[in-house]
Structure 1
Amino acid sequence: MVPPYSLGMVHERVLRGYLLEEVVAWLLRSSGYELLSAAHDQEKNPAYRVLKQRHNGMAVRGRGAWHQADALGEFRYVPPFSHPVRLFVEAKFTGTNVGLPTVRNGHGVVHDVNENVVTSVHGAAPSRPRPRYHYSYAIFSTAGFSRDAQEYALAHQISLIDLSMPDFEGLRNLVSTRARRVHEVLDPLPAKQRPRVHQLRTHLRRRLLQVVDDYSYFMDGDDVPVLPRSVTQPLDDIAQNLSSRQTPGLVLAFPSGPFVLGLTSENLYAFVDYACRHPTHTVHLRRLPQTASHPVWQVRPAESPGAYAMTFSLPEQVESWIRAQEETVNDRARWIKRNVLSTMTIYWLDGDHTLTFQLRYAPTELRQ
């Protein structure tokens, strides 16, 4: 009998997605998100726990069901008038764009967990408040998203981040080659000797967090697997490559519109150095020559254009919408500036502190 979720049941393509999910979740630490494990739920009464460990990973309690949460992060600071923010991270490493079913599933999950409305814990003693959270969902894809997926995501505030841009080529190659090596090592092994996918992910996550001396994820009760060196070497290579900054960094940027941007740069720390000196600054935006499946945008500081450069892409529907707004009269340009494209907010984790940067740009800059 093949153990559940062993490599005997997982194609190399799917393994690439799992490893990419761990890498993306780790990269999001710089945006202020702390990775969670089931051990972070300190509730003693099992009936009121919202996180639990299963044989194939962590699960989150919803109103109607428990949901798999392979990569779940919590923002270090609580926004005003809100519950703590938690983010589901899903990554797809495919050759074709992500379709509507994936996005619809993400919406179903986040809707159910946000409907988990029990607010107090009752027992023999007086009732006490129960922590509540606001869950969001982000899907990362190496091949973009279908039109239906984008329209559905915009309508339901599911964040889509396109990793097909040329700047992410190094990251894609890193994950793809190491996943192939792991699969080649495990393929000839008898099914009963193959580790579960969860064990591979846990090892990679441990190595990535060791890079930044963050052991908070591995709390008492977490299972830390012991795997053969031939299996762990490719996973360790991923962590080493990321720690040496050989691949572009990634931060999330929050504009005034109903979407999230994934900003990347070959020298992300040049941006951080400049933003630490100028937490709020004006930027220039321009569309680069079309080197990907759809336009790529570049952002530079207006007063010191050589200080840093970061790139991002927009959902195709948003891209078309912005261009249409550009081509209209000045009143629409003013409407964009006031309601949609006024600022981008970026959070950066600096030790135990989360810094906030604001990039401000004018709609008149949105021209080729």
Structure 2
Amino acid sequence: MVGLRTLKGYLLEEVLAWLLRSSGYRLLTEADDTARPPWKVLEKRKHGLVVRGRGAWHQADALGEFPYVPPFSLPIRLFAEAKFTSPPVGLSVVRNGHGVVHDLNAGDVTTLSNGAGPRRPRTRYHYSYAIFSTSGFTRDAQEFALAHQISLIDLSLPDFNPLCKLVKDAAEAVYDVTKSMPPSQRPAVYRIRNYVRRHLLDMDEDPVPSSGAVTRPLDTLVADVQRLPLGLVLAFPAAPFVLGLVSDDLEHFFRCARAHPTHAVRVRRSRRSAGHPLWFLEPREGPAYTLSFSLPEYVEDWILDQEEGIGSRTRRTARDLLSAITVYWVEGGHTHTFRLHYDPDEFREVSGRPRTPSSDLDGRVGRTGAVGR
């Protein structure tokens, strides 16, 4: 029987895949690999999807692909792993993620042949790894992740509390029900995930749980998540990390950015009484919105020069690393690209959260989470 903590993480992965749809993140299934054996790299096994690397097959519970391809690169596939734990995620979890993507990206077969016909090009991908944690990360895990470009997304910020509570309540209800069932009748965890995936992501994956006592809390989770005013989109600065922008009105940001695909923003940095600082992005002109992000502690220490005063080093950080932030937004099969530019002379240290004019935003303010890559 799957443990409660593991079940929380699995359900959280499905919810995060739904939130990341604005960035074009699309979960993959075995049907997405049209190659014939022995060239297939995606395969459905007893416990779910696996992907083949150079040395082994790897479990791929939440493997997604993005529709846009960065210049001079390969199509991007992303492993999303969620940890719903009380202690911070440690080095072993991050090291495992690095081992997986290293093995997958080490595959050097570029052409396919059945031994008789001509050789043809083989589609290749660049695999990345993101770890979402409800309790943050240890310092050594952050150091290793930054060195090897593993994305760390901290869900311990207050903005994520409602989302985490929904997942926690659903997981506990399902766990209590299955614990009281005879072992032969307990649904496998992949069947529970498939049920959420079918109703939240419109993916028709079988089999699914047949017990109403199991599916009722999952139905509640799906309905409540869809009503939750929360969205998650990835942003890419000129740095070895990514930003996870979370907003309670991403559609408003999209409307503003679509009208001005390239525009200047102001940057604010605010310390909190508990937790690490938050950074805020606001447009310098035009309709108002507020986006914010938070960096894992070691990542922020790394990008801030310790020999400079706090004011000058935060300005240099924003100038060098946040000077151009790229955001991809997918709507109706079309990928929009937005560029947010920053003028370091407009940097401000603030206490508390910047206020966005209600006349421009109807009182709605965006929020974000933390990502280090």
**1:325-344 Cα deviation digits (max 9, x unpaired):** 69459997786456422111
Contact 1:203 1:225 in 2 (8 A): yes
Structure 1: give runs of 5+ residues left out of the alignment.
1-7, 211-216
Contact 2:20 2:231 in 1 (8 A): no
Q: CA 1:115/1:328 → structure 2, altered by over 3 Å: closer, same or farther? A: same
Contact 2:187 2:209 in 1 (8 A): no
Q: How does 1:137-216 map to 2 (within 5 A)?
A: 137-210=129-202
* CA drift at 1:345: 1.0
Query: Aligned residue for 1:136?
Result: 128
**1:24-62 Cα deviation digits (max 9, x unpaired):** 112111101211011111112x21110001111101100
Query: Aligned residue for 2:368?
Result: none
Query: Aligned residue for 2:277?
Result: 295
* CA drift at 1:293: 2.2
Distance in 2 (alpha carbons) for counterparts of 1:329 and 1:48: 54
Distance in 2 (alpha carbons) for counterparts of 1:297 and 1:356: 22
Q: 2:6 aligns with which of 4, 14, 38?
A: 14
Q: 1:320 aligns with which of 292, 301, 314?
A: 301
Structure 2: give runs of 5+ residues left out of the alignment.
351-373
Report the residue type matching 2:288 in the other structure: A
Query: Aligned residue for 1:30?
Result: 22
* CA drift at 1:83: 1.5
Q: CA 1:250/1:92 → structure 2, altered by over 3 Å: closer, same or farther? A: same
Q: CA 1:366/1:130 → structure 2, altered by over 3 Å: closer, same or farther? A: farther
Report the residue type matching 1:148 in the other structure: D
Of the structure 1 ranges 259-268 and 330-339, higher mean CA displacement relative to structure 2 is found in: 330-339
**Is residue 326 of structure 2 the alignment partner of residue 345 of structure 1?**
yes
1:47 counterpart SS class: coil
Distance in 2 (alpha carbons) for counterparts of 1:231 and 1:257: 44
Query: Aligned residue for 1:282?
Result: 264
Query: Aligned residue for 1:355?
Result: 336
Q: CA RMSD in A?
A: 2.1
2:50 counterpart SS class: strand
- Superposed structure 1 runs of 4+ greater than 4 Å apart: 328-338
Q: Given the two structures, how large is their TM-score scaled by the length of structure 2?
A: 0.88
Distance in 1 (alpha carbons) for counterparts of 2:315 and 2:168: 44
Query: Aligned residue for 2:360?
Result: none
**1:184-207 Cα deviation digits (max 9, x unpaired):** 211100111001110111110111
Distance in 2 (alpha carbons) for counterparts of 1:281 and 1:325: 31
Q: 1:74 aligns with which of 61, 65, 89?
A: 65
1:360 counterpart SS class: strand
Query: Aligned residue for 1:256?
Result: 238
Contact 2:304 2:317 in 1 (8 A): no
Contact 1:251 1:263 in 2 (8 A): yes
Distance in 1 (alpha carbons) for counterparts of 2:38 and 2:75: 21
Q: CA 1:356/1:326 → structure 2, altered by over 3 Å: closer, same or farther? A: farther
Of the structure 1 ranges 235-244 and 120-129, higher mean CA displacement relative to structure 2 is found in: 235-244
Q: 2:215 aligns with which of 228, 232, 243?
A: 232
Distance in 1 (alpha carbons) for counterparts of 2:277 and 2:172: 30
**1:261-307 Cα deviation digits (max 9, x unpaired):** 11112222221121111111222222334154212222222225x72
Distance in 1 (alpha carbons) for counterparts of 2:321 and 2:45: 42
1:167 counterpart SS class: helix
1:299 counterpart SS class: strand
